[in-house]
Amino acid sequence: MIFKKKTDGHQPQTKLEKRVASISTPELVMWAENSLFVIGKEVTGWMRTHDHALLDEADLGAEALYAITQELKRRANNGF
């Protein structure tokens, strides 16, 4: 899992979080929309085939979406 908290409360940035932080806001919104599409597509595919690899892909999309929304919230709080 990408998001692991340290016991002291400080969590270093992951590779995904660093990547997300370097992308412009309009591109992040497009990436979020794509992540939502991928999550839905993979879950629907899993319902048909029961291939667990599809759920792994949905997990990756969900982790990316979470990182994106956290970055967008941070930017909104800082006035972009």
The domain ranges of the chain are: 15-77
SS3 assignment for 10-71 = CCCCCHHHHHHHCCCHHHHHHHHHHHHHHHHHHHHHHHHHCCHHHHHHHHHHHHHHHHHHHH
Write down the pTM of the prediction: 0.80
Q: What is the pLDDT of residues 2-55, one digit of tens each?
A: 555 555 566 778 899 999 999 999 999 999 999 999 999 999 999 999 999 999
